[in-house]
Amino acid sequence: MSVETQKETLGFQTEVKQLLHLMIHSLYSNKEIFLRELISNASDAVDKLRFEALAKPELLEGGSELKIRVSFDKDAKTVTLEDNGIGMSREETIAHLGTIAKSGTADFLKNLSGDQKKDSSLIGQFGVGFYSAFIVADKVEVFTRRAGLAAGEGVHWASKGEGEFEIATVEKAERGTRIVLHLKSGEEEFADGWRLRNVIKKYSDHIGLPIELPKEFHGEEKDKPAEPEWEVVNRASALWTRPRTEVTDEQYQEFYKHVSHDYDNPLSWSHNKVEGKLEYTSLLYVPGRAPFDLYQREAPRGLKLYVQRVFIMDQADEFLPLYLRFIKGVVDSNDLSLNVSREILQKDPVIDSMKSALTKRVLDMLEKLAKNEPEQYKTFWKNFGQVLKEGPAEDFANKEKIAGLLRFASTAEGEGEQVVSLGDYVSRLKEGQDKIYFLTGESYAQVKNSPHLEVFRKKGIEVLLLTDRIDEWLMSYLTEFDGKSFIDVARGDLDLGSLDSEEDKKAQEEVAKSKEGLVERLKTALGEQVAEVRVSHRLTDSPAILAIGEQDLGLQMRQILEASGQKVPDSKPIFEFNPSHPLIEKLDAEPDEDRFGDLSHILFDQAALAAGDSLKDPAAYVQRLNKLLVELSA
């Protein structure tokens, strides 16, 4: 053992302590994953070294082959992992192995449910892989030296996973990191060549550098060489460089876990090699579930970027639009320069063409998933549908394609499940129907009984029910699908086109004429509150509704803008009444203008309530209603 200097004992950050506690006490269902985590870190460390060595070749220190070695000692009950990657300085060691640098740690700990399975997959998302060593070890030692630092600046880190760690400066001849796991009693099975080999094959076959184990020695103990012979146990070629036909589903899935930090399998993937003017390989995955920070602006997103097999950067978000930010994977380009930076990426026209090609790949992959695996697509929609809805506004060129991937609730499906595609809708159009009808609102419960739907129910016409916050905004970007325009049934003067027969239209005109007097009286009574009063043809059961002006903001948009503190342009609704409703007939026959006024206001307020709006003067409404009730019972 070499001399240790500047030895000190430091405490773990509180979050780390909580995590360690969780690791040690509840994550025992799948213990072998510690090896995957440590190998994944070693592989990242080698990637980082390769990258830094592009600018500073001297970091390679003579350039022995980059690799990972895993060894074990049955008697000492240890497993040792060694890499010759970038290594860590003393400060880096304290920062990386004593704290969790990632933002969102607090969120993470809040999200812990106590349910072991859920929590262990959360841990994956947060990439706190190193601490998983404590699942099998009751003491972990790390010997490391940052590439470029002198041999005397090695670091020895040690901890029992109980709240603190020791750190000291030591001599370390080789650059890189060696991790020694002192196995807990009961975990000795991991100090075994056969077991380690199997775990490595299972989880780390896709790692693009050699992982070596000592060769089994079968001779007499006295002939055993001091240095073992090593043999490579993984395939050691980057997975995406292999032909599709040679990669199994399991291998694709393991690779996904490596790049995404997800513990579950992806829903789908697409692996493509592009040749021609541009040359690149992409491997894109649709995750099986949404990360907790899908809606956080600063959340990491993007692909892992490689240039000619050399790792360049994580989270390269220039390759896909924002509305596809949930896609994980790698892209390996032959056209970009090895010293490409984020700044260059943002300007390079090569990126633009790659971005549009990759976007199309993803949309195609989603189309395929929807077509071939509708159940899986449902899962996808539940997790990422809201994000995909940002698409039509962001990506004009692919609007129609994205529209085809959207799913909605509709009057033709019960329970408000979002399962109807625009393709489904169009395939069920009524004879003479050339529009796609929709209604937006706050919740399924609110819209499903909306008076706006009465005429559609009567005529058996399907209406899409849009109740996500983003829907009204989405519909302002979607104007057409398959040549059919969208009509908001709560907006403007509903024209059912050829769905109304000539006789219908004639009858409607006649009724409108006969009610001109009532329209005028209502205009006077409601005054400033309404933009217009007219006879409605869309009501069967309700006495009246409020329609939104053709150009006015809908309720949802108004509420969103108001909530964000913006000034919202004033707009007045159109009051439409049902001429054959008994209440309207009563109103029409009311000679007393005061009572007429009260009744009109009550009808107006009721219509506002039915539309999900709040009343401007609820007290006045209650007063008028009570007055009526008193008169009734008198």
* Binding region for Mg ion (CB under 5 A): 41, 129
Among residues 41 and 120, whose Cβ is nearest to Mg ion? 41
Among residues 45 and 351, whose Cβ is nearest to ligand ADP? 45
Provide the β-strand partners of residue 165.
10, 159
Question: In the chain, how long is the greatest CA-to-CA distance?
Answer: 118
Compose the 175-204 pattern: x for residues touching ligand ADP by CB under 6 A, - for all others. Answer: --x---------------------------
What phi and psi, each to the nearest 5 degrees, are found at residue 482? 55, 40
Indicate the residue type of 398: N
282 touches ligand ADP (CB under 6 A): no
* Residue 117 beta carbon to ligand ADP: minimum distance, rounded to whole angstroms: 21
Q: How many positions of this chain bind ligand ADP (CB under 6 A)?
A: 17
CB-based contact 326:387 (threshold 8 Å): yes
148 touches ligand ADP (CB under 6 A): no
* Residue 130 beta carbon to ligand ADP: minimum distance, rounded to whole angstroms: 3
- Cα distances from 336 to residues 50, 54, 349, in angstroms, run 16, 14, 11
* Residue 131 beta carbon to ligand ADP: minimum distance, rounded to whole angstroms: 6
Please, what sign has the CA dihedral across residues 553, 554, 557, 560? positive
* Residue 33 beta carbon to ligand ADP: minimum distance, rounded to whole angstroms: 12
- Report angle CA 262, 369, 433 to the nearest 5 degrees: 135
CB-based contact 109:128 (threshold 8 Å): no
Among residues 179 and 422, whose Cβ is nearest to ligand ADP? 179
Task: Give dist(CA 383, CA 360) in Å, integer.
Answer: 20
CB-based contact 598:525 (threshold 8 Å): no
Residue from 129, 287, 392, 451 binding ligand ADP (CB under 6 A)? 129
Task: Give dist(CA 348, CA 353) in Å, integer.
Answer: 10
Indicate the residue type of 109: L
Among residues 42 and 283, whose Cβ is nearest to ligand ADP? 42
Residue from 59, 128, 199, 200 binding ligand ADP (CB under 6 A)? 128
Label the pairing between strands 409-410 and 435-440: unpaired
Instruction: Pick one of ligand ADP, Mg ion, none as the site partner of residue 85 (Cβ within 5 to 8 A by kind).
Output: ligand ADP
Residue from 35, 39, 88, 147 binding ligand ADP (CB under 6 A)? 88
Instruction: Pick one of ligand ADP, Mg ion, none as the site partner of residue 134 (Cβ within 5 to 8 A by kind).
Output: none
CB-based contact 161:140 (threshold 8 Å): yes
CB-based contact 442:467 (threshold 8 Å): yes
3-state secondary structure of 314: strand
Alpha-carbon dihedral angle through residues 380, 383, 389, 390, given to the nearest 10 degrees: -120
What phi and psi, each to the nearest 5 degrees, are found at residue 257? -65, -35
47-86 binders of ligand ADP (CB under 6 A): 83, 85-86
Instruction: Pick one of Mg ion, ligand ADP, none as the site partner of residue 45 (Cβ within 5 to 8 A by kind).
Output: ligand ADP
126-134, 372-380, 548-556, 605-613 -> range binding ligand ADP (CB under 6 A): 126-134
Instruction: Pick one of ligand ADP, Mg ion, none as the site partner of residue 546 (Cβ within 5 to 8 A by kind).
Output: none
Q: Please state, as a whole number, how many other Cβ atoms lie within 10 Å of the Cβ of residue 117.
A: 13
Instruction: Pick one of Mg ion, ligand ADP, none as the site partner of residue 96 (Cβ within 5 to 8 A by kind).
Output: ligand ADP
Task: Give dist(CA 234, CA 83) in Å, integer.
Answer: 15
Among residues 129 and 554, whose Cβ is nearest to Mg ion? 129
- Report angle CA 20, 21, 25 to the nearest 5 degrees: 115
Sequence-ordered list of residues with C-beta below 8 angstroms from that of 580, at least 6 positions apart, any chain = none
* Residue 80 beta carbon to ligand ADP: minimum distance, rounded to whole angstroms: 12
* Residue 258 beta carbon to ligand ADP: minimum distance, rounded to whole angstroms: 11
Task: Give dist(CA 516, CA 209) in Å, integer.
Answer: 83
* Residue 300 beta carbon to ligand ADP: minimum distance, rounded to whole angstroms: 11
Instruction: Pick one of ligand ADP, Mg ion, none as the site partner of residue 404 (Cβ within 5 to 8 A by kind).
Output: none
137 touches ligand ADP (CB under 6 A): no
13-52 binders of ligand ADP (CB under 6 A): 37, 41-42, 44-45
Task: Give dist(CA 28, CA 607) in Å, integer.
Answer: 58
Indicate the residue type of 613: D
Task: Give dist(CA 238, CA 309) in Å, integer.
Answer: 8
Among residues 258 and 448, whose Cβ is nearest to Mg ion? 258
557 is written with which tokens?
């948009």
3-state secondary structure of 531: coil
Among residues 16 and 478, whose Cβ is nearest to ligand ADP? 16
* Residue 86 beta carbon to ligand ADP: minimum distance, rounded to whole angstroms: 6
Among residues 179 and 474, whose Cβ is nearest to ligand ADP? 179
* Residue 158 beta carbon to ligand ADP: minimum distance, rounded to whole angstroms: 15
* Residue 209 beta carbon to ligand ADP: minimum distance, rounded to whole angstroms: 12
* Residue 40 beta carbon to Mg ion: minimum distance, rounded to whole angstroms: 5
**Residues engaged in binding ligand ADP (CB under 6 A):** 37, 41-42, 44-45, 83, 85-88, 96-97, 127-130, 177
